Structures are given as structure tokens and as C-alpha cells.
Amino acid sequence: MALLNPSLLRLLICLIPIFYVWKCLSSPLRKCPGPWSSLFTSWILKWHEFHANRTRYVHHLHVLYGPVVRIAPNEVSFASLEGIKEIYCSGGSGYDKTEFYNLFQVYGRRTMFSTLNKADHAKRKRILADRYANTNIMRPVVLDGIKERSLRFIGRCSESVGGTVDLFICLHDYAFDCITHHLFHPYGSDSLLKQGDEEIMKEVTFDESLKNRLLQYYHPELHKLIGNILHYFAKPRQTPLADNLVLGASSRTEPAQFTLLSRMQEKNYNLEQLDMAAECLDHMAAGIDTTGDALCFLMWEISQPNMIHVQQRLQEELRDNPDVEFDRLPYLDAVVLEGLRCFPAIPMSLPRYVPNGGRTIDGFFVPGGTIVSCQAYSTQRIDQNVFPNPDTFNPDRWLEERGDLDRKRLFFAFASGGRGCVGKHLALAEMKTLLRDVYTRFKTVPDETMKPEMMQMSDQLISSQPREQKCLMRLVPLQN
């Protein structure tokens, strides 16, 4: 019973921290730039995560330490082209995803987004990508559906003239109606016109499960054990209304031919009903928050007094080119790109595992099993040769020929490589259609009750939204 010998026990207890320190100090990551504390502990990073501030904290470290920064003992963030190419594009779709994406399983199923490895992902993507391809998005039935919903949005704007409209709500409604149209028309939502459907959008958007889900990620066993009590302090994600919509719609037959559901229902894919519902719910949630929040931040920005010239130029371009397709308007395109650069809907790290054997990324050797990532917020700001005055909203930068390739390569709002955003073309069509409809008719002015702090970026699990979840705007009809 030598182990019970008190002095031996004391010695062992002393050795544990010494061993820990030795292990940290001998980690190859000691050579990465970063705060010394990140070599020993991830608590500072987690503290910021729990306070919806991860993106800004990581960016702050990039500003201090450069494009490669160690943010935790087992985690490195990159804000460089080398990083993007290696982590997300090597071998087509880059490194495998981490268990972080387990949080995005739906009904206990893995969706395309939450598959971890390359093979599972490729299999699912072969089925789904077709309906998001630009050739499908540009079909008149699809675009007409978007235009119709955009005009309903304009209806809400027109009713508000003389008062205010909450853009945060209406834009999420619009994104909701557009994505459900694309997923399972004619069984989609009509939240711009129907109060009941707007409630579904609110349930998905006003979700407060960040802390609960982070705990689930970091301590899955503990979470299982105390989930029932935890519930009182940190709400789990629950979306009964949305579940109801999706489970109902995805069991219907004969959805419109352009929809994702029609594709998944094709017999040869043998997808179970619950898998189809899971994909639909995942795409729905993703489609609401990303497009809704990106448009909200963008419209807020160009409504500021010092941005009047942006609105004016946009209005001129739209007025002078009424018959040109939305994807052929250079200034509109520049405004959207700049919006997504400054306020990417998913600004945060997209974590991946370094494969066995380790890899050298952007000049630093990183051992296998280390978590590595890039975040759009930083890749789109950190290099001031590519993005001069990175914190200034300036659409003109996208109209310059010089540096165009560099800008596009560091643009990471839709991520890159084989696992990049499948909904990119749909999102751009939705954004451009709506902006065109709004700014041919109105000037937008923030309501006096809105303060800039209210629109500060607040991280969710992976996307970000305005802190106060509110954006009151006055719409002033244009005279022409």
C-alpha cells in the first residue's frame, strides 16, 4: 500500500502541476506567436466565448501578434491566405471538422454541415449541391419567388412611412420566407404577412442557448448529467414551432421541382424522412440568421449620416439601370461585398483538426490533433496592403482593379474550398434583390432612439447578430 504513504502522495500531487507545465512548455505551439497564457490555459478564450465576444477577442490577438496566433494550448488561429488554403482547401475540402460541429446535429442526425469527415460530407453534398448551384438559383421560378417576397418586404416598409420599421424583424422574416421557399415551396412560410409565421422566425432568431450549447461542447458528459438542472440557468435550444413546420413540410409530396426537398425525395438517394427534415431545419436556421443579420448590419451602416454618399450612388445606379439584372450592377455588388467584408454573417473561427503527423501551416509546424481555424472577420481586415483602412466601410475598394485577386482570395464570408457555403448564390440573390427594391424607393435613416452600441456584433454559436436584436429605421420615400 505504498500509494497511501502520505509523503509519497504529496510528492505525486506536486508532480502533477510540474508535469503539466513541462508538457505545455515543450509543446511545438510554444513557437507560435500569442499571449503566454494561451500556452497554459484556454480559460480566457472560453470566458470571451461565454460572453459572446470570441470573434473580437481573437481579432484583437491577431492585431497584436499578426496573422498566426496561438489562442489556447491546443488551438491556433490563422488570418492569412496560406492558412485559408491549407486548412480549408488542401485536398479539395481541407481538414476534418472538430466535434464543435456535433452541436449542429438535428434530430440526432448528421446533416451536410455537421458531417465531420470528407467522405460523409462528399456523399451528402452530391445530393444537395445541385439545388444551390447558380444555374438553379438564376431560374425564373426561383428568382420570381425571391422578388415576390422582396415586394412583401417593401409592403411592410411602405406601411411604416411616417413611423419606424424594425429592420431586424422584417429582414429575418424575409430571409425566412425566402429560404423556406427554396427548401419546400409551396409549403414554405409567409412571415412577412402572417403573424403566426413570424412567431416561428422569432423562435429561431431570439435563441439564447449559447451558454448551454458551449457547455455541451466542452463537457458533453457533464452536460448529460446536469442538463435538466442547467436548463434553469442556461436555456437549451428548443424550437418546437420550427420543428413543426419542417417536419410537416418535409413529409409532403410533390414540392416544387426547384426545391431542395424535391431533390432529396428522389428515390435513388434513399434518404430517410428524418434526414430530409434534419437537412431542411439546418438550412432553414442557417438561411434565416445569415442573410437576415448581414442585411441588417449592412443597411444600418449605409444609413449612417457619414454614409449618405453610398446610398446616393447606389440609388443613381439603380435608377439609371432599371432593366439590368441584379447581378450585373457593379456598385450594388461592391456594396454587398463590402457589407460582407465588414459584417460577415459568420465572422467566427471555423474549427478543423490538423491531420495525423502534423502540418506546417503558414511557416509554423502544428502537431496532429491541434485545432486550427480562420475567421472571416480577421482575414478580411488584417492585411492592410490588401484592405487599407480596414475598419472603414468603403465599397469603392471593390471597384479598383489593382489588388482585386488578393481581396477575393482573403474574402472568407462564405468560407472557401469544398466545405464553403453552399447557399452563397441564393444569399447573394436575396440580398441584391432586396437592396435594389429598397433603395429604388426609399432613403433609410436610423431612428433617433437607436444607439451604435445596440448594433454591436454579438456572437452566437457560429453567427453573429446585433446586440440588442433590434434595428429601428425610418424609411423616407424618394421623390422621382
Ligand X SMILES: *[C@@H]1O[C@H](CO)[C@@H](O)[C@H](O)[C@H]1NC(C)=O
Binding residues: 421
Q: Is 56 in the site for ligand X (CB under 6 A)?
A: yes
Minimum CB distance to ligand X, residue 50 (Å): 10
Cis amide linkage into residue 186, ω under 30° from 0: yes
Closest separation in Å from C-beta 377 to ligand X: 12
Annotated binding site for heme: 421
Asked if 467 is part of the footprint of ligand X (rule: CB under 6 A), the reply reads: no
**DSSP-based three-state secondary structure for 305:** helix
To which residue does cell 488554403 refer?
85
| Contact region with ligand X (CB under 6 A), list: 47-55, 125-133, 165-173, 186-194 | 47-55
Instruction: Figure out which of the listed residues 27, 35, 37, 57 binds ligand X, where binding follows CB under 6 A.
Output: 57
Residue 438, SS3 per DSSP: helix
Shortest Cβ 60–ligand X spacing (Å): 4
Residue in 37, 53, 90, 102 binding ligand X, rule: CB under 6 A: 53
Ordered strands of the 472-477 beta sheet: 165-166, 472-477, 442-446
Pair 287, 424: CB distance under 8 Å: no
Binding residues for ligand X, rule CB under 6 A, total 6
What's the min distance (Å) between Cβ of 41 and ligand X?
A: 16
Helix, coil or strand: residue 357: coil
Three-state DSSP at 268 gives helix
- Which residue's C-beta sits nearest to ligand X? 60
3 state DSSP class of 458: strand
- CB of residue 365 vs ligand X: minimum separation in angstroms? 27
Rounded to whole angstroms, how far apart are CA atoms 85 and 214? 28
To ligand X, the closest distance from the beta carbon of 232 in angstroms equals 24
Query: Residue 403's CB: how many other CB atoms inside 10 A?
Result: 14
Return the DSSP state at 462: S
Footprint on residues 59-98 left by ligand X (CB under 6 A): 60
Between helix 167-184 and helix 424-441 the angle, nearest 10°, is 130
Nearer to ligand X, 51 or 139 (CB): 51
Any contact of residue 269 with ligand X (CB under 6 A)? no
User: Judged by CB, which is closer to ligand X: 30, or 51?
Assistant: 51
| Binding segment (CB under 6 A) for ligand X, from list 45-53, 177-185, 212-220, 466-474 | 45-53
Q: Is 446 exposed, middle or buried (0-12, 13-18, 19+ CB in 10 A)?
A: buried
Quick check: 51 binds ligand X (CB under 6 A)? yes
Binding-site ranges for ligand X (CB under 6 A): 48, 51, 53, 56-57, 60
